[in-house]
């Protein structure tokens, strides 16, 4: 192999492992992202409500598929974040807790059940 051809090959072989060191975790591309709980809290599974704006919001036995960028963080209740759909306006029809990747359990007021 000629000396001039050997230099680019050696350079490439030395640089190639470094390309795998770049992190792809976290908020890639600055897209909004919320953490997912590994297990839903007992209070949700027991049907206990979220208290928000002086109203009780009860969990439904159903989930909706939403992207993190489609929801608005409203607050934290008993260590669990809860959200509203960004296109919804007050008074909200539903609020949500994150159940899995792109899966949100919805909560409704007692009069909406």
Structural domain boundaries, residue 63: 35-112
Two tokens at 74?
Answer: 């409203």
Per-residue pLDDT in tens (0 to 9) along the chain, 113 residues: 566 677 777 776 666 566 655 555 555 555 667 877 778 899 999 999 999 999 999 999 999 999 999 999 999 999 999 999 999 999 999 999 998 889 999 999 987 55
Q: Give Cα separations from 67 to 5, 7, 50, 70 (angstroms).
A: 50, 48, 22, 5
- Cα–Cα distance measured from residue 34 to residue 87, given in angstroms and rounded to the nearest whole number: 18
Q: In what order do the strands lie in the sheet with 95-100?
A: 50-52, 55-65, 103-109, 95-100, 80-85, 71-77
The domain total for the chain is: 1
Residue 47 domain flag: yes
Residue 9 domain flag: no
Is 0.85 surpassed by the pTM of this model?
A: no
DSSP 93: S
Residue 4 domain flag: no
Residue 74 domain flag: yes
């Amino acid at each position: 192999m000629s000396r001039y051809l050997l230099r680019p090959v050696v350079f490439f072989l030395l640089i190639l492992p470094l390309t795998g060191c770049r992190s792809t975790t976290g908020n890639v591309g600055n897209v909004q992202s919320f953490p997912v709980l590994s297990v839903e809290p007992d209070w949700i599974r027991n049907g206990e409500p979220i208290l928000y704006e002086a109203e009780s919001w009860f969990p439904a036995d159903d989930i909706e598929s939403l992207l993190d960028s489609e929801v608005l963080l409203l607050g934290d209740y008993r260590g669990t974040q809860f959200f509203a759909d960004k296109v919804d306006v007050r008074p909200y029809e539903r609020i949500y807790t994150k159940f899995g990747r792109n899966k949100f359990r919805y909560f409704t007021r007692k009069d909406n059940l």
